[in-house]
Amino acid sequence: MAEAQNAPKDLRQATVQGGPPPVGSTTAGTIAVAADSTVATRMSAPPSFDVADFPVPHGREEEWRFTPLERLRGLHDGTAEAGGVLTVEVTAPEGVTVETVDRTDARLGRAGTPVDRVAAQAYSSFEKASVVSVPKEAVLTEPIRIPSTGEGGTAYGHQVVELGAFAEAVVVIDHTGDAVLAANVDFVVGDGAKLTVVSVQDWDDTAVHVSQHNARIGRDASFKSVVVTFGGDLVRLNPQVQYAGTGGEAELFGLYFTDAGQHQEHRLLVDHNTPHCKSNVAYRARSRATARTPCGSATC
């Protein structure tokens, strides 16, 4: 997508670097695994921001049965110690606010709660978050661009995009480079607002990317998500949608091209928790014989 010439921009750059060992790990870098016979290993835990509320998955749980856990590099069991670098740049039109905030910011986590252990680990482990705010009634004529470049190692991240009432925007998130990344991405769409998000996963062949995308859609608002996945050794995305008012609409589209040996997994949930809301989900895959491309979706 081409950008208009001579348009004003707000360019910010934040670097997600290594920090203390992730919550849930012991000093030895390992974590106890519950016995096979316990109910917790066979049933999904309720959503929670606390990683301790989720048992370490074995791979037999419904939400993990397609995922090769040994390729998660410890993101699921507390042994993945942050020490890598993920550079996140935000380029936005004039009038859009771009901030780097700490964990105490009240806007973090508003769009949804982690639904699995890796998402909770990411929320427990990030140090700084990026918040992009579009003011009410602003109609952007150029996209907001958020390229995220991995420079090796393990990183945990958190991104927030919020639109005020009746605002309209397109956001393009582009993932490249090499990283072992666990992250949460929050989209808060105000009443009557329209947000289109394009998330591209074009990682190097050795990258691991596990992320939960949370969308909270206001009254008479619309949210469109387009996920395109090409690269990475393992990519697992978990889009979650909930409605904050009547008349909301969600469209979730996905396209992924999987080469030999890659694992790409997309698990979607649209919660029709409010009456008179609509949703449409369509994902398409093209893969070679030895690639794995599970995709699950549900509405309720």
- The range of the structural domain enclosing residue 104 comes to 11-20+85-299
Question: Which whole-number Å values give the CA distances from 71 to 44, 199, 233, 236, in the listed order?
Answer: 21, 22, 8, 11
Four-residue CA torsion sign, 46, 52, 55, 61 = positive
Phi then psi for 64, rounded to 5 degrees?
Answer: -120, 0
Tokens of 254: 């996905």
User: In this predicted structure, which of 32-46, 140-154, 281-295 has the lowest mean pLDDT?
Assistant: 32-46
Q: Could you tell me which residue, 26 or 81, shows the higher pLDDT?
A: 81
The whole-angstrom separation of Cα 67 and Cα 52 is 21
Structure tokens at 281: 């989900």
pLDDT digits (tens, 9 = 90+) for 265-279: 999 999 999 999 999
Rounded CA separation 24/54 (Å): 10
The answer to the question of residue 89 being in a domain is yes
Which helix (DSSP H) or strand (DSSP E) does residue 223 occupy? strand 222-229
pLDDT in tens, 164-189: 999 999 999 999 999 999 999 999 99
- pLDDT tens for residues 207-238? 999 999 999 999 999 999 999 999 999 999 99
List Cα–Cα distances, 222 to 81, 132, 259, 261, in angstroms.
Answer: 38, 18, 33, 36
Domain membership flag for residue 57? no
Residue 46 is assigned to a structural domain of this protein: no
pLDDT at 44: 67
153 within a domain of the structure (yes/no): yes
Which of helix, strand or coil describes residue 118?
helix
Residue 227 within any structural domain of the chain: yes
Count of domains for the chain = 1
In a domain, 116, yes or no: yes
